[in-house]
Amino acid sequence: MKWNYGDTVQAALTVGTGKPVLKPCAIVGITVVENVPQSQALGYALGTTHYTVEFSDGTDALIPEHALLPLA
């Protein structure tokens, strides 16, 4: 699914137990892997979309598209 700036979503984050935890967040940035150095640095294929998300505590993270879900 494609998201837009300001969308509120859930990020599936892996915690110490290895189990994913859903954490609500907002989309604040969009990055598409456009070249080989970027692909190598992020560990994802060319064309993969990543979203910078911000959590309610003010922290942020770069999350691949497949790890974001609609806010229930």
Domain extents for the chain? 8-70
Q: What is the pTM of this model?
A: 0.85
Per-residue pLDDT at 19: 85
| Whole-number pLDDT of residue 18 | 81
Q: Which residue has the tokens 């979503």?
A: 9
Please name the fold of domain 8-70.
Answer: SH3 type barrels. (2.30.30)
* Predicted confidence (pLDDT) per residue in 23-56, tens digit: 999 999 999 999 999 999 989 999 999 999 999 9
Between strands 49-54 and 8-14, the pairing is unpaired
- Six-digit token pair at 34? 């456009």
Q: Please, are residues 32 and 47 in contact by the beta-carbon 8 Å criterion? A: yes
Res 69 pLDDT > 80 = yes
Say if residues 9 and 27 touch (Cβ distance below 8 Å). Answer: yes
